[in-house]
Structure 1
């Protein structure tokens, strides 16, 4: 079971925030951080609970400027349960706190298979005696509105009473991220509490501006020894259930707390509070909840399991666990996107960036219904994207770099450099390549699933409007016959303007231009493939004039890509920037991952140097196979052969600080094909990013969902060369010496549970029995057809 369990021995206050993020439990509807139940938010602990899509907008004053930010809201704390011992004479000791007690053993065990968090510890109470405590919690995967906590108290060599307070706490704020401390953080209003029956407390409130109603109810019961007193005590912000229970050696006290959460965004309810009270009243006892919860997770593991030996497999299993807790089948019922930090913390304010680019390729082949729902989130916000493009003087759709509730641009206007204490302009909203990521996801989803209906309707609307934006954004370049795209920011993010420039943005970012050309060519392909009646209907619906298409064709073939020193330039002028003395900075600082903050604090700017935060040009090698990438450049009129690509990889590898968790992932992916021997170092870094908190304290603010899902896709597609195109599975495995054996199952078209396993230079494909058509599998040197119920073992070419 070690491969399915993450254990933390001892109590370490300095590590609590990190452990709380990594021990978060969730079900795609809501999640609760792995804080100890007796804690409230402070410098050490942060017991946050977040429901997918529950945002609130607040105004703050920062650096003398009025700013408005929308945040994923920290909801009332259902987990709160504290206790203290009462001796035989009735005197009560202090409430237990791990920060005030010398613990005799303290252990957290996160069971990935069952999705439970178990905590055990012992301590000696000076007035009473020795107490052992075991707590197990879950956030229910079968019923997404339920969560539960079981606490078992056992005493040694003395008798008395134990006093327990089980509470719903509405006095919470958004204070997980220290650098946001200058912002308004009070999102909940109109808190009311009450009681229902003899064992249930309730709390209701609303978000202050988005006016989302929240209903929460908690049933607390004692099994075994009945309490001598049980009292429900509603107050202004907290609903408390106080119990006093006899305790003696050999007679453990078991306290079960079951909580229910509903919001006014839910379907098929009358009101959130009524739904929460009904839900918790009807909920079965803890053992039955645990059984149904475990069974639901068993079904998920069957659909999405990955088999990789050793520590790599253990880390991948943890990553998959957290992906499924954020984006489960329950997510398919919601109007939500992919939050960059999961439902695990408040960094990035719970916003949706481009991380679905790293998440959907994995989900497409396991939970396509979830992928489709995440694309629907973008489609519902297509009108807002078109409005944004219009306001910028362009046609088509300009999706925001950061999205939240309604699809407007949520990117902050200022960001804080913690090193200098200065608030600086934030120009990351110029990352318009997010639109290309959405188009890429639409295409990949439809290729993987064969969902032609989606491609011809919602997918086509998004793809064509994004293509329209790029065609209108492109302008004639000084270079004859070329187009250029100006004033953007690429994935690198460090570079947001030219040195000493009066305006933000860069010209001809290679990643932006190449992906824009890809979008345009895919949109043209789709237009040609559409039935005539559907094409006419679509053009009428989005107001597209067929006369626009010749320019699409022209731009898709003539967008400019800059080069210097025989490599692809990250953007026009990149090669003219100064070289950084990397050795000097590595010698002066423990970590230079956030080189931008270091230089700004020194009064300098990273805009002056050939220094990148993360993969930018090399992202092209992440999205496209070598053959497809060469074809893209050839369409644009450039000859980028394997040798030039290898030079480009080497060039940027020496000039990247890896200030993003996505950087190691992308470099590992690209190097697996360009320079295999060095790939594993970066793959391993990607696996350890959150577990070891390599970014220096950021994981405590929420896990990095894109990086976690990306490592799964690294095995599923990166190492196998798996592509879903032309109604076939295309495979071109590149086994790494450190990861030469692995396997996974996937859902392809109508086939559930297609199994792929690589071992000893052989690739085995198994297709389960069904009434579906055979699967065509294409390798570099042959093609085979595998019928349902058959297994095919293929000897891979050596080298």
Structure 2
């Protein structure tokens, strides 16, 4: 099968091809395996397994990994003379192993045996990974191996692997070994190799009376999560079990006649003690694998579940961009599916695809929930419940700073405490350096923004008046307590923080970390305070009284919130918004010189530190910081916020601000291209497409230089979907109306999608050139008010509105 070439595929120029709903890799290239394994991960929102070859073990080329959402373990390591504690998403026992050889010979892998062909196909629509490999045999014949793999989307505890062997040439006897391997560690990120990664203990294995079935049980070392796996091997040959330390092993011998295919099916069930309605995880796994149907039936039910999911979520975008967006959506849904709604988990920044960032939850939900809100709102609600369950921990963190309210952690894991590492390694210099990113207190504003967006999109007033109001009140309280009045300025200030940029964590030469009056932090804090005051005034009186009493809200606090929301300081310099107070005094960087010397300067912080310098001295940002305001808020809302704060933000000032930071950003995060593409699509379309392309290709081309092999960038993938859904359409859900302000890009002027909005399922929007079509499916729901700039058009169930879009 030939495919459409995907551009920008890294230094070799070789990469996947896409053709409709498949993603394909041709040829075996060891240097690309980690990237392919991430992008060929299969999951179902409960667990996921990297796309590693089943006959290969973890080494410098391959890294099989299986991760269950929310399964963490905490270990202490000795690093740079200090004892540091880290919590990791655990790499659980590997269920994949299935290796093969000519009886009496060496085990065959693409690294140790001649390969005549190798082809991997990720079938997106049915959620299947297919591989086809030809191994040259000593007698001149060929062993053809074809495998199909699934991680079941209908039944979240099941996975299956079908292997087909066909011999071309003389008949040979094959020995096949399948296993459950409990000897795994967390070793998928080179930077963490000095840290303790042995999270599994008490590994036990055994067989059962059921033919062809083995099991493995283990625990995590400190969190004491019990994991049970059971595997059933089916083949037209006897299956024997072998006892090995920490491995449950099965063997079969088969002799395929030339040209005839022999099939071996492996079905696996996985449970942990964290699962709801669970007794013993191993008993559950054994019962489940015994009752599981054969591979063909599993595949059919799995494909049906994916078909239903695609109908609820898919974008209709033509061409190469549409293929990439579908891949992005595929990985979002494998991390956050309807099964996630039953779990106590957040949004892992790197999906369930690898161990980068240790599987922690950052602010990435800010880029993920807006898409889910309009397709899988039950999943958004569950992700917000994750934050609410950790509200007490956030309040404790604020108290430790001597403040009221809630301080959510920059990195969150199992229980809501701050999981940000104390030290991080610069691979360029080999030095371990202090990590101050925990000062990104703006994560609280992201939580509040997500609450507001979810409730606007769904009309879920129960959540808004309940858990949502409680979280927003405590986040607002923290901001008010963090703001100190400066009599000289006549304004409130928030000091000692780090903004989204991350490169700047201190003033040049300062002994203590932190910056004053980060514009993004202060403006979003003002937004939180304003929205929370609105919410308090709108609450039914009994609920408002309840909330005030339970929070111990003092009588003068709302008045203080009002004052702070109008007087927070936003610094300016040279006619543009300053990233933080004093930013304008920093030196200019020799951007041309550094690009000439290093070519790729995305991680400028590492380059400068290795030179004995620091990015804190320069006007240089890792990613969008001030410009994040243009990502979160429409132009009119942003002007309104600045007006409330006593500043005039006209088009000229905003345009100059965009230009200023556009030329001083190294894009050391995959989120940066996304945000810049979004902002430029709204502000200056001619320059937007290059950044849109970067957002689309960030992971498939591994633009961050090897990081995708450690796990995909979930926020950037989901954000690229939302760029089409909300960014280009100007879609806002506010005031009980569906508001639109399209800005068609010439390169992407025709697309469509369906959304769930206020109880309406499948509201379909399509933009073609200058025509916007909105179709509301038949139901017993009421009218939808559609606002197109200055027009309001009510559209009822069963009706379609076609509206002309003017420039």
Q: CA deviation at 1:245?
A: 1.5
Could you tell me which residue of structure 1 aligns to residue 202 of structure 2?
190
Could you tell me which residue of structure 1 aligns to residue 130 of structure 2?
118
CA contact (8 A) 1:195 1:234 kept: no
Pick from 773, 779, 787: which aligns with 2:796? 787
Q: Please give the TM-score of this superposition, normalised by the length of structure 1.
A: 0.98
Could you tell me which residue of structure 2 aligns to residue 621 of structure 1?
630
Q: What secondary structure sits across from 1:631 in the alignment? A: helix
Query: Is 2:449 the counterpart of 1:440?
Result: yes
Could you tell me which residue of structure 1 aligns to residue 155 of structure 2?
143
Query: Is 2:418 the counterpart of 1:406?
Result: no
Could you tell me which residue of structure 2 aligns to residue 178 of structure 1?
190
Q: CA deviation at 1:378?
A: 0.2
Could you tell me which residue of structure 1 aligns to residue 226 of structure 2?
213
CA contact (8 A) 2:772 2:802 kept: yes
Pick from 58, 65, 69: which aligns with 2:75? 58
Q: CA deviation at 1:620?
A: 0.1
Could you tell me which residue of structure 1 aligns to residue 739 of structure 2?
730
Pick from 333, 337, 340: which aligns with 1:328? 337
State the Cα deviation string for residues 234-263 of structure 1 (Å, max 9, x = none): 322100011112221243110000001000
Q: What secondary structure sits across from 2:45 in the alignment? A: coil
Q: CA deviation at 1:335?
A: 0.1
Could you tell me which residue of structure 2 aligns to residue 159 of structure 1?
171
Take 2:330 and 2:317, find their aligned partners in 1: how far apart are those partners?
15
Q: CA deviation at 1:478?
A: 4.2
Structure 1 residues 478 and 613 mapped into 2: Cα distance closer, same or farther (>3 Å)?
A: farther
Structure 1 residues 780 and 479 mapped into 2: Cα distance closer, same or farther (>3 Å)?
A: farther
Could you tell me which residue of structure 2 aligns to residue 95 of structure 1?
107
Could you tell me which residue of structure 1 aligns to residue 254 of structure 2?
245
Pick from 635, 639, 654: which aligns with 1:630? 639
Take 1:25 and 1:235, find their aligned partners in 2: how far apart are those partners?
28
Could you tell me which residue of structure 2 aligns to residue 32 of structure 1?
49
Pick from 668, 693, 715: which aligns with 1:706? 715
Query: Is 2:89 the counterpart of 1:76?
Result: no
Of the structure 1 ranges 532-541 and 28-37, higher mean CA displacement relative to structure 2 is found in 532-541
Take 1:519 and 1:463, find their aligned partners in 2: how far apart are those partners?
7
Give structure 1 stretches of 5+ with no counterpart.
87-91
CA contact (8 A) 1:71 1:349 kept: yes
Query: Is 2:658 the counterpart of 1:649?
Result: yes
Query: Is 2:534 the counterpart of 1:522?
Result: no
CA contact (8 A) 1:580 1:610 kept: yes
Q: CA deviation at 1:423?
A: 0.4
State the Cα deviation string for residues 483-530 of structure 1 (Å, max 9, x = none): 000000000000000000011000000000000000000000000001
CA contact (8 A) 2:140 2:169 kept: no
Could you tell me which residue of structure 1 aligns to residue 756 of structure 2?
747
Number of residue pairs the alignment of both structures matches = 789
> Superposed, which structure 2 residues align to 1:447-486 within 5 Å?
447-486=456-495
Q: What secondary structure sits across from 1:160 in the alignment? A: coil
Could you tell me which residue of structure 1 aligns to residue 293 of structure 2?
284
Pick from 134, 144, 160: which aligns with 1:132? 144
CA contact (8 A) 1:93 1:127 kept: no
Q: CA deviation at 1:128?
A: 7.9
Q: What secondary structure sits across from 2:107 in the alignment? A: coil
Q: CA deviation at 1:161?
A: 1.7
Could you tell me which residue of structure 2 aligns to residue 89 of structure 1?
none
Query: Is 2:23 the counterpart of 1:6?
Result: yes
Q: CA deviation at 1:730?
A: 0.4
Pick from 395, 415, 419: which aligns with 2:424? 415
Of the structure 1 ranges 371-380 and 530-539, higher mean CA displacement relative to structure 2 is found in 530-539
Could you tell me which residue of structure 1 aligns to residue 273 of structure 2?
264
CA contact (8 A) 1:78 1:168 kept: yes
State the Cα deviation string for residues 560-606 of structure 1 (Å, max 9, x = none): 00000000000000000000000000000020000000000000000
Pick from 84, 89, 107: which aligns with 1:67? 84
Pick from 661, 676, 693: which aligns with 1:667? 676
Q: CA deviation at 1:545?
A: 1.8
CA contact (8 A) 1:396 1:465 kept: yes
Q: CA deviation at 1:544?
A: 1.4
Pick from 514, 530, 534: which aligns with 2:543? 534
Could you tell me which residue of structure 2 aligns to residue 368 of structure 1?
377
Q: What secondary structure sits across from 1:3 in the alignment? A: coil
Could you tell me which residue of structure 1 aligns to residue 4 of structure 2?
none
Q: Please give the TM-score of this superposition, normalised by the length of structure 2.
A: 0.97
Could you tell me which residue of structure 2 aligns to residue 719 of structure 1?
728
Take 2:441 and 2:230, find their aligned partners in 1: how far apart are those partners?
43
